[in-house]
Amino acid sequence: MRKNAFLLAAAASFTMTAGTVLAQETIKVGNIVATAGPLKSVASQAVVAFDLAVEKINAAGGINGKKIELIRFDTGSDPKQASVGVRKLAQDDKVLAILGPFSSGESSVAFNDAERLKILTIPTSASTPGLTDGRKYGWRLSEDETKQFSRLLKAMKEKGLKTETAEIVYISEEVVSNTAGTKLYPALLAQAGIKHGEPMAIQYKSFDMSAQAAKILQSNPDFVAVAALPESASKVTKELRRQGYKGRIIGSQIFADPNVVELFGPEGEGTMVVAGFWRGRTPEAQEFNDKYVKEAEARGIHRLGAHHSDAQAYDSVFLLKQAMEKAGVTGNPSKLEQEREALVEAMKGIRFTGILGDNICFAGNDAELPGFVIEIKDGQWTKFAEAAGDTCK
């Protein structure tokens, strides 16, 4: 009995030691994703981009000789679960930093826990203006909707497109769509001297948009600004075309997804959006896009090209790598709090070059990214115009 007890104790001791050694052999990074719920169509494929980045970094030797170990938490598109995810990853899994969550709604909740737990958190595609204001641990490698939509309006005017009148349609239940449709679009249209009617709300699950489309047809604006995720934007677009609307349909980053070319079909011709990524910007950007499409297809995910959120997911891993190397992190559990703090300090004044842009700087905690105005032309995702990222003071 004593012998068996000794062997059990020894085995337990070995397991604990092995577990400790294993933990020190990798650098743990939390990854909050959304592969279900309303965000699934734009968020789930970002997992592919995260994995491609980690695979490339680890194949090249990792960070200071240690490989990245991604520990995932899925919110199912529920902002409350983003809070749970931050707490679990920071307190239970002892990760050094967190990549994600995906959206502005999730991030606005997650940032509160990140501040309290003092852990660097970089969302994937959070673009609501002012989201990082007053934050120390929340940083963004994404451009806010205000700047990007302004670039779209400016490009349309500079290219001589009709922009005197507009109508606004938004999805009431989607946080970023609601904000864009009720606050962002009206303010920017007014600023640009474009007349518009009262923003029209549509519910996410609504299948009948005929009344809203009919109202838009009555005013027959030069363009309709849609604030919605791809599926909802597709419903609005198809109903407008069905009723005979001939003007432009535009959107900000919210439905700037290459897959809308197929989703919208012929009705999408002439649609214009603005995105934070253009696949042909550099050979590296094109290489990522091609690898991403191939890997996504291998996983059963049909993609026509990388969404800017996918590019942001990919680059966020390399941004974190740069900060980790600057901070000299070891991944040693005994230095967790110290290295978390060093990592946040390393983000200050950082300059980053990736597939999104070159020499990217941060104004406060927000990256200054370029913008690419995209037009669906002849059934293709084409570049209409581009704007360089702003400089940082």
- Note the pLDDT tens digit of each residue in 178-217: 889 999 999 999 999 999 999 999 886 766 788 888 999 9
Asked whether the beta carbons of 82 and 107 are under 8 A apart, the reply is yes
Average pLDDT over residues 312-339: 96
Structure tokens that stand for 126 in this block:
């959070």
pLDDT at 16: 37
Query: Which H helix or E strand runs over 117?
Result: helix 104-117
Q: Is the pLDDT of residue 341 over 90?
A: yes
pLDDT at 168: 97
Are 163 and 251 contained in the same domain? yes
The sheet that has 26-33: what strands, in order across it? 67-74, 26-33, 97-99, 121-122
Asked whether the beta carbons of 52 and 91 are under 8 A apart, the reply is no
Are 182 and 324 contained in the same domain? no
Is the pTM for the entire model greater than 0.85? Answer: yes
Are 223 and 351 contained in the same domain? no
Phi, psi of 27 (to 5 degrees): -110, 115
Are 241 and 270 contained in the same domain? yes
Are 233 and 380 contained in the same domain? yes
pLDDT band at 24 (very low <50, low <70, confident <90, very high): low
pLDDT at 90: 98
Domain assignment of residue 315, yes or no: yes
Domain assignment of residue 109, yes or no: yes
Residue 213 identity (one-letter amino acid)? A
Structure tokens that stand for 388 in this block:
């360089």
Contacts of 153 (CB under 8 A, 6+ apart): 163, 188, 189, 192, 194
Domain assignment of residue 30, yes or no: yes
Average pLDDT over residues 129-146: 94
Q: Is the pLDDT of residue 49 over 70?
A: yes
Structure tokens that stand for 134 in this block:
């007053």
Which domain, by its residues, includes 185?
A: 145-275+374-387
CA distance 257 to 263: 10
**Weakest-pLDDT range from 121-125, 207-211, 311-315:** 207-211
Domain assignment of residue 368, yes or no: no
Cα 196–chain centre separation: 29
Query: Which H helix or E strand runs over 148?
Result: helix 145-158
3-state helix, strand, coil in the chain (%, to 5): 50, 20, 35
CATH number where 131 lies: 3.40.50.2300
Are 289 and 264 contained in the same domain? no
Are 64 and 152 contained in the same domain? no
Q: What is the pLDDT of residues 94-122, one digit of tens each?
A: 999 999 999 999 999 999 999 999 999 99
Q: Is the pLDDT of residue 21 over 50?
A: no
Length of the chain equals 393
Domain assignment of residue 124, yes or no: yes
pLDDT band at 145 (very low <50, low <70, confident <90, very high): confident
| H helix runs in 209-368, sequence order | 210-219, 230-242, 260-264, 283-298, 308-327, 336-347
pLDDT at 10: 42
Are 114 and 189 contained in the same domain? no
Query: For residue 90, what is the DSSP state?
Result: I
pLDDT at 13: 40
Q: Is the pLDDT of residue 79 over 70?
A: yes
Structure tokens that stand for 309 in this block:
């959120």
Percent of the chain with pLDDT over 70: 93
Domain assignment of residue 70, yes or no: yes
**Into how many domains does the chain fold?**
2
